[in-house]
């Protein structure tokens, strides 16, 4: 079986993010990491194989050169190889264009099961896996809090505000994984070193037969008008509880009209 | 007047509050038409009409509930292709995102997710989003196709504006793909006696500092004294001290109550993303260096197991 896990290299969440002149996120200015939510998808893929599934795991990422580090982190957790789609023309792609590139790459690679995180931790849209499934004409089961594979059937558990549902679908399928699944393992030093020996293939748009005019900022179906910093919250009074903390807090809430 | 398609969501008791919010927002842009993928009973139609829907498209195919997301996506896309609306509005959430994603691809249209505002200027639709844990506001225009927009619950206050909707039964031809993911079981969740996190004016949230599942008792006690809702951080949810439904943050709920009391919450950025728009933020934490204090309007460095019960006593005293 071929499992492909979609992974994204994103800016460090604790860094101060800024936007470039073309209103895109200034990724070059920031240290990056494998998106934390993608780690859950990686963990599920590795557990499927550890649990006895006869499958090869490939990690697929789209991004500028540093995105390779995301592949290395995933490979350190387990899996066999990485594929990095890299092309300057992709810069500024919206979700539609991103899903086009990923869909073409998946067609190129071949797959049975595609796993993805529930959202990227930068754009946080949660739409690319569904778009990829739509483009490829394959089944989807998104926001899985639990996952199992039995032959060519995938079963997931999914939560909404009002109910818990069990869903069953047939491969080939795209499944997105929430942070309600198993915690991502922390790779041992040896695994990190071994990851560097696993093969990583780099592909361009030309390799995938994608017209550069169909992706990138100019091809985007949405346009950022402006980005403005939200007013910062400033810290108010902080008191150390000397036995009167609760009284002072009550006074504060009264003053704010909350009591 | 421009037609705005709104995907309505039904609950066991009627129409979801977020749908009424969408209709209110849709009225600012044009004339709302509600799509109901389910049983458009007289009560449902009346409720949608109360909030301004002038048309209700009723899609009764049983596949809507039997299969995950795709039948609804196909229904919305089909109706959009027939009526060419000015915009399509859906509530943010797992199903909303699934639907909006596929509709955007089918219509080859711009998609904006998690909008907190939508305005129209002539033929241009501009959305506002709060991004990067609430540190930036982004305004976006859709420049291709019919704007497909997912809107955050609570972005808009629902306001009634009664209309008399025409009900149109809609037949949608579903693809085989729409039947690809079978819902094999559905277990409803218990409704709580406390307010919903989305609606609560006051939220008391417990973080890892509560120490244990039993430790949440003081958080619940304070919430009840204030008539508020209980929330938790991801740490608490991951430790299974509380159900995931109560989780506030990047992978949980986004809330903006009048008062947010964070007890034993360190204030990691993923949590702040879910509550930093609260009007008043109060923090109680043993650690004076906890990041939560930097966004709190009032902070108490102390043991929440002492401070919270003492606060409940104060509240009782002042009410007596």
Q: Is the pLDDT of residue A132 over 80?
A: yes
Please report the pLDDT score of residue B216 as a whole number.
Answer: 98
Provide the whole-model pTM.
0.94
Minimal Cα–Cα distance from B107 to chain A, Å?
11
pLDDT tens digits, one per residue of B81-100: 999 999 999 999 999 999 99
Q: Is the pLDDT of residue A28 over 90?
A: no
Please report the pLDDT score of residue B58 as a whole number.
Answer: 98
Distance of alpha carbon B75 from alpha carbon B88, whole angstroms: 12
Q: Which two tokens stand for residue A2?
A: 């071929």
Contact B174, B63 (CB under 8 A): yes
Which residue of B100, B109, B307 is in closest CB contact with A127? B100
Backbone angles phi, psi at B223, to 5 degrees: -60, -45
Tell me which chain A residue has its CA closest to the CA of residue B282.
A249
Closest among B73, B108, B145, B177 to A97, alpha carbons compared: B108
Note the CATH architecture for domain B3-179. Answer: 3-Layer(aba) Sandwich (3.40)
The DSSP bridge pattern shows strands A146-150 and A222-229 to be: unpaired
Distance of alpha carbon B211 from alpha carbon B215, whole angstroms: 6
Contact B23, B32 (CB under 8 A): yes
Q: Which residues of A touch B74 (CB under 8 A)?
A: none
**CB-CB under 8 Å, A141 with B136:** no
pLDDT tens digits, one per residue of B251-300: 999 999 999 999 999 999 999 999 999 999 999 999 999 999 999 999 99
Omega cis (within 30) before A220: no
Q: Is the pLDDT of residue A6 over 80?
A: yes
pLDDT tens digits, one per residue of B215-230: 999 999 999 999 999 9
Backbone angles phi, psi at B53, to 5 degrees: -65, 125
Which residue of A99, A158, A258 is in closest CB contact with B94? A158
Q: Which residues of B touch A233 (CB under 8 A)?
A: 276, 281, 294-295
Q: Report the pLDDT averaged over residues B71-79.
A: 98
Q: Is the pLDDT of residue B123 over 80?
A: yes
Q: Do domains B3-179 and B202-319 have the same CATH topology?
A: yes
The DSSP bridge pattern shows strands B229-232 and B280-285 to be: unpaired
Distance of alpha carbon A227 from alpha carbon A23, whole angstroms: 7
Which residue of B104, B270, B307 is in closest CB contact with A245? B307
Distance of alpha carbon A225 from alpha carbon A45, whole angstroms: 39
CATH of domain B202-319: 3.40.50.1220
**CB-CB under 8 Å, B181 with A169:** yes
Q: Which two tokens stand for residue B72?
A: 């609804």
Contact B245, A161 (CB under 8 A): yes
Strand, helix or coil at B24? Answer: helix
Which residue of A13, A138, A258 is in closest CB contact with B269? A13
Please report the pLDDT score of residue A258 as a whole number.
Answer: 84
CATH of domain A2-219: 3.40.50.620
Q: Which residues of B touch A167 (CB under 8 A)?
A: 68, 181-184
HEC assignment per residue over B35-98: EEECCCCHHHHHHHHHCCCCEEEEECCCHHHHECCHHHHHHHHHHHHHHCCCEEEEECCHHHHH
Closest among A64, A74, A72 to A5, alpha carbons compared: A74
Which residue of B140, B294, B303 is in closest CB contact with A222? B140
Rounding to the nearest 10 degrees, give the CA dihedral for residues B95, A116, A109, A104: 50
Q: Which residues of A touch B183 (CB under 8 A)?
A: 165-167
Please report the pLDDT score of residue B260 as a whole number.
Answer: 98
Q: Which residues of A touch B182 (CB under 8 A)?
A: 167-169
Residue identified by tokens 């704010």 is A256
Which residue of B11, B140, B301 is in closest CB contact with A238? B301
Q: Where are the domains of chain A?
A: 2-219
pLDDT tens digits, one per residue of B125-175: 999 999 988 889 999 999 999 999 999 988 999 999 999 999 999 999 999
Which residue of B68, B141, B300 is in closest CB contact with A223? B141
Closest among A234, A197, A218 to A88, alpha carbons compared: A218
Distance of alpha carbon A101 from alpha carbon A85, whole angstroms: 8
Distance of alpha carbon A94 from alpha carbon A91, whole angstroms: 9
Closest among A120, B166, B107 to A129, alpha carbons compared: A120
Backbone angles phi, psi at A252, to 5 degrees: -60, -45
The more confidently predicted of residues B127 and B193 is B127
Contact B248, B264 (CB under 8 A): no
Closest among B29, B200, B57, B22 to B119, alpha carbons compared: B29
Portion 72-101 of A in contact with B at CB < 8 A:
94-96, 99
Question: What is the pLDDT confidence band of residue A88, given thresholds at 50, 70 and 90?
Answer: very high
Distance of alpha carbon B37 from alpha carbon B57, whole angstroms: 8
Residue identified by tokens 């030309």 is A206
Q: Which two tokens stand for residue B118?
A: 């939508």
Please give the share of chain B, as a percent, with pLDDT higher than 90: 92
Q: Is the pLDDT of residue A124 over 90?
A: yes
Q: Report the pLDDT averaged over residues A94-100.
A: 98
Q: Cβ of A39 under 8 Å from any chain B Cβ?
A: no
Residue identified by tokens 């505002």 is B117
Q: Which residues of A touch B282 (CB under 8 A)?
A: 249, 252-253
The DSSP bridge pattern shows strands A32-34 and A9-11 to be: antiparallel
Q: Where are the domains of chain B?
A: 3-179, 202-319
**CB-CB under 8 Å, A233 with B135:** no
Q: Is the pLDDT of residue B1 over 80?
A: no
Q: Report the pLDDT averaged over residues A154-170.
A: 94
Please report the pLDDT score of residue A160 as a whole number.
Answer: 85
Contact B68, B62 (CB under 8 A): no
Distance of alpha carbon A73 from alpha carbon A78, whole angstroms: 9
Q: Cβ of A202 under 8 Å from any chain B Cβ?
A: no
Q: Cβ of A160 under 8 Å from any chain B Cβ?
A: yes
Minimal Cα–Cα distance from A156 to chain B, Å?
10
Strand, helix or coil at B33? Answer: strand
**CB-CB under 8 Å, B105 with A99:** yes
Q: Which of A36, A41, A162, A239 to mutate to test the interface with B (most CBs of B within 10 A)?
A: A162
Q: Cβ of A24 under 8 Å from any chain B Cβ?
A: no
Cβ atoms within 10 A of the Cβ of A224, count?
Answer: 18
Distance of alpha carbon B154 from alpha carbon B158, whole angstroms: 9
pLDDT tens digits, one per residue of A170-223: 999 999 999 999 999 999 999 999 999 999 999 999 999 999 999 999 999 999
Q: Which two tokens stand for residue B218?
A: 């003081």
Minimal Cα–Cα distance from B91 to chain A, Å?
13
Backbone angles phi, psi at B264, to 5 degrees: 70, 25
Which residue of A160, A248, A259 is in closest CB contact with B95? A160
Please report the pLDDT score of residue A247 as a whole number.
Answer: 97
Distance of alpha carbon B230 from alpha carbon B248, whole angstroms: 10
Please report the pLDDT score of residue A259 as a whole number.
Answer: 81
Minimal Cα–Cα distance from A80 to chain B, Å?
29
Q: Is the pLDDT of residue B303 over 80?
A: yes
Helix, strand, coil in percent for chain A, rounding step 5: 35, 30, 35
Please report the pLDDT score of residue A16 as a whole number.
Answer: 87
Please report the pLDDT score of residue B192 as a whole number.
Answer: 84
Q: Which residues, including other chains, have CB under 8 Å from residue B151's CB and lie 6 or more apart?
A: B18, B21, B22, B25, B89, B90, B91, B92, B114, B115, B116, B118
Q: Which of B101, B119, B136, B266 to mutate to test the interface with A (most CBs of A within 10 A)?
A: B101
Closest among A100, A244, A150, A256 to B226, alpha carbons compared: A256
Q: Which of A122, A127, A158, A247 to mutate to test the interface with B (most CBs of B within 10 A)?
A: A127
The more confidently predicted of residues A233 and B208 is B208
Q: Report the pLDDT averaged over residues B107-127.
A: 96
Minimal Cα–Cα distance from A196 to chain B, Å?
30
Contact B263, B257 (CB under 8 A): no
Question: What is the pLDDT confidence band of residue A231, given thresholds at 50, 70 and 90?
Answer: confident
């Amino acid at each position: 079986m071929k499992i492909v896990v979609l992974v994204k290299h994103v800016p460090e969440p604790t860094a101060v993010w800024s936007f470039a002149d073309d209103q895109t996120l200034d990724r070059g200015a920031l240290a990056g990491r494998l998106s934390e939510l993608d780690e859950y998808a990686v963990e599920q893929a590795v557990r499927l194989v550890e649990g006895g599934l006869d499958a090869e795991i490939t990690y697929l990422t789209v991004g500028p050169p540093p995105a390779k580090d995301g592949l290395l982190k995933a490979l350190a957790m387990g899996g066999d190889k990485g594929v990095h789609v890299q092309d300057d023309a992709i810069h500024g792609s919206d979700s539609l264009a991103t899903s086009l590139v990923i869909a073409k790459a998946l067609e190129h690679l071949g797959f049975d099961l595609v796993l993805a995180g529930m959202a990227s931790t930068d754009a946080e849209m949660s739409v690319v896996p569904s778009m990829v499934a739509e483009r490829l004409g394959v089944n989807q089961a998104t926001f899985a809090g639990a996952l199992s594979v039995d032959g060519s059937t995938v079963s997931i558990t999914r939560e909404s505000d009002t109910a818990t549902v069990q869903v069953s679908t047939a491969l080939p399928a795209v499944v997105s994984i929430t942070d309600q699944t198993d915690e991502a393992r922390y790779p041992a030093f040896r695994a990190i070193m071994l990851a560097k020996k696993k093969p990583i293939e780099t592909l361009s748009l030309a390799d995938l037969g994608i017209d550069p005019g169909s992706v990138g900022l100019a091809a985007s179906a949405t346009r950022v008008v402006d980005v403005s910093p939200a007013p910062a919250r400033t810290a108010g009074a902080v008191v150390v509880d000397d036995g009167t903390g609760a009284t002072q807090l009550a006074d504060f809430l009264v003053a704010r009209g909350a009591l | 007047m421009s037609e705005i398609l709104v995907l309505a969501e039904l609950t066991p008791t009627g129409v979801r509050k977020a749908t009424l919010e969408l209709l209110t927002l849709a009225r600012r842009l044009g004339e709302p038409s509600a799509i109901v993928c389910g049983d458009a009973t007289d009560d449902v139609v009346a409720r949608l009409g109360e909030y301004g829907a002038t048309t209700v498209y009723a899609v009764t195919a049983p596949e809507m509930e039997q299969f995950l997301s795709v039948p609804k996506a196909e229904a919305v896309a089909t109706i959009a292709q027939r009526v060419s609306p000015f915009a399509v509005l859906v509530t943010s959430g797992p199903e909303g995102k699934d639907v909006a994603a596929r509709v955007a691809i089918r219509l080859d249209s711009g998609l904006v997710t998690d909008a907190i505002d939508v305005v129209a200027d002539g033929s241009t639709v501009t959305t506002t989003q709060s991004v990067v844990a609430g540190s930036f506001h982004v305004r976006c225009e859709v420049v291709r196709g019919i704007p497909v927009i997912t809107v955050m619950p609570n972005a808009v206050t629902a306001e009634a504006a009664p209309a008399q909707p025409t009900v149109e039964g809609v037949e949608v031809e579903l693809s085989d793909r729409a039947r690809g993911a079978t819902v094999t079981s559905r277990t409803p969740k218990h409704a709580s006696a406390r307010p919903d996190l989305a609606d609560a004016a006051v939220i008391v949230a417990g973080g890892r500092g509560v120490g244990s599942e039993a430790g949440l008792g003081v958080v619940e006690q304070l919430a009840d004294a204030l008539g508020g809702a209980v929330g938790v951080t991801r740490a608490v949810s991951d430790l299974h001290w509380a159900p995931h439904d109560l989780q506030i943050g990047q992978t949980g709920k986004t809330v903006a109550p009048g008062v947010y009391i964070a007890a034993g919450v360190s204030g990691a950025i993923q949590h702040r993303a879910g509550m930093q728009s609260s009007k008043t933020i109060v923090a109680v934490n043993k650690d004076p260096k906890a990041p939560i204090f930097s966004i709190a309007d009032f902070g108490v460095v102390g043991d929440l197991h002492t401070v919270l019960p003492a606060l409940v006593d104060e509240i009782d005293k002042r009410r007596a």
